């Protein structure tokens, strides 16, 4: 099927404008404020004519692909190359392990109604765009670990949740030469829930940037986001967490927390929680902190015969473990706490 019949002409023109001049769009400028777009572009592989299937074969997939392209020049570029996808359908009580597919071909994972599925993603892909379509009464647990400190990575993880569905996301990462993670969530049906826990450690001149955008489009939806990071030496860590609640979405319960430890004078930590609310009867909260290890607690441990390095690692591990859960938690604890000096 020709691309013109899949993407309306005005939408195609908007995609082209954002791809070609991304920083002229205010939302795109804000979205890429602390990451180099050129580095992210360099991670996107060239598409092959044989990659995946035509997106027209997957109901609602194109709508999901277009849903969040307004501030992402890379997804615009991928869509304009030709809307083809890798398509997977989860079966009940199954575990999927993702391979190293290139970002030039988005992976669409369909979780049918009533299905409970789990995804393990530790593939160390240079770049990836994964879209999870979660049907009514379905449950998805998605677990991700990135451990390569030499990586240059951009990824986008996108969820669309329908009525009474639930997604549980755990995401753990070690800083790298360049590491940028975008998380996009659309709670499209009543009583849908999105639960996110994540943690990261960056050292030296490493970089990690998490951009999380959760949109509540239906009443009585729920979301929680918790992201803990540790920065050392001259590392740069960025978090931007955005909650959007549309009109007539009463009964929404949404919250996000970002806590950061700066272990060194040269660490740069950028944190920006955002709320955009158009309904009155909602419960919404956010918080962000930047601090250092508690000196009194450190002294308490050292007074009991624990050397300083071990004491610092114990406190750092306790801080990170608040967000470590799921099947990758122990591996993540070794990767993250092992890099704390």
The per-residue pLDDT for range 22-53, each reduced to its tens digit, is 888 888 898 999 999 999 998 887 766 666 77
With a cut of 70, which residues of the chain have pLDDT below it? 1-6, 47-51, 56, 59, 100-103, 126, 294, 299-302
pLDDT at residue number 34: 92
Determine phi and psi for 131, rounding to 5 degrees.
-120, 125
pLDDT at residue number 4: 42
DSSP state of 176: B
Beta carbons of 231 and 269 less than 8 angstroms apart: yes
> E-strand spans in the chain?
53-54, 84-89, 94-97, 107-111, 116-121, 127-134, 139-146, 152-161, 166-174, 178-187, 193-202, 207-216, 222-232, 236-245, 253-263, 268-277, 283-291
- CA-to-CA dists, residue 49 to 11, 19, 62, 83, angstroms: 23, 21, 18, 11
pTM confidence score: 0.92
Report the alpha-carbon distance of residue 207 to residue 239 in Å, rounded.
Answer: 11
Beta carbons of 200 and 173 less than 8 angstroms apart: yes
| Domain spans, the chain | 3-293
Determine phi and psi for 302, rounding to 5 degrees.
-65, -35
- Condensed to tens digits (0 to 9), the pLDDT of residues 129-146 reads 899 999 999 999 999 999
pLDDT at residue number 183: 96
Report the alpha-carbon distance of residue 219 to residue 231 in Å, rounded.
Answer: 38
Report the alpha-carbon distance of residue 158 to residue 166 in Å, rounded.
Answer: 14
């Amino acid at each position: 099927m020709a691309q013109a019949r899949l993407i309306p002409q005005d939408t195609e023109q908007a995609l082209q404008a954002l791809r070609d001049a991304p920083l002229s769009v205010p939302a795109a400028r804000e979205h890429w404020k602390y990451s180099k777009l050129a580095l992210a572009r360099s991670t996107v592989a060239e598409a092959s004519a044989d990659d995946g299937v035509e997106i027209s074969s997957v109901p609602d997939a194109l709508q999901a692909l277009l849903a969040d392209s307004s501030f992402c020049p890379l997804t615009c570029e991928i869509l304009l190359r030709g809307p083809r996808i890798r398509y997977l359908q989860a079966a009940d009580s199954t575990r999927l392990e993702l391979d190293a597919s290139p970002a030039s071909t988005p992976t669409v994972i369909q979780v049918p109604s009533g299905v409970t599925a789990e995804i393990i993603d530790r593939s160390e892909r240079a770049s990836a765009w994964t879209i999870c379509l979660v049907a009514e009464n379905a449950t998805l647990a998605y677990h991700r670990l990135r451990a390569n400190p030499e990586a240059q990575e951009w990824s986008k993880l996108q969820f669309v949740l329908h009525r009474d569905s639930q997604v549980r996301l755990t995401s753990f990462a070690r800083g790298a030469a360049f590491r940028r993670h975008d998380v996009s969530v659309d709670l499209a049906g009543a009583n849908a829930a999105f639960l996110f826990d994540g943690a990261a450690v960056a050292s030296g001149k490493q970089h990690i940037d998490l951009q999380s955008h959760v949109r509540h489009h239906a009443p009585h939806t729920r979301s929680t986001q918790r992201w803990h990071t540790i920065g050392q030496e001259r590392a740069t860590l960025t978090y931007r967490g955005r909650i959007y609640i549309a009109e007539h979405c009463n009964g929404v319960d949404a919250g996000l927390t970002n806590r950061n430890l700066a272990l060194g004078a040269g660490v740069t930590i950028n944190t920006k929680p955002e709320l955009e609310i158009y309904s009155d009867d909602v419960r919404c909260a956010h918080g962000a902190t930047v601090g250092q290890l508690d000196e009194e607690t450190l002294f308490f441990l050292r007074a009991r015969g624990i050397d300083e390095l071990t004491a610092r690692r114990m406190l750092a591990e306790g801080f990170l473990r608040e967000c470590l859960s799921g099947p990758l938690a122990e591996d993540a604890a070794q990767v993250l706490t092992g890099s704390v000096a």
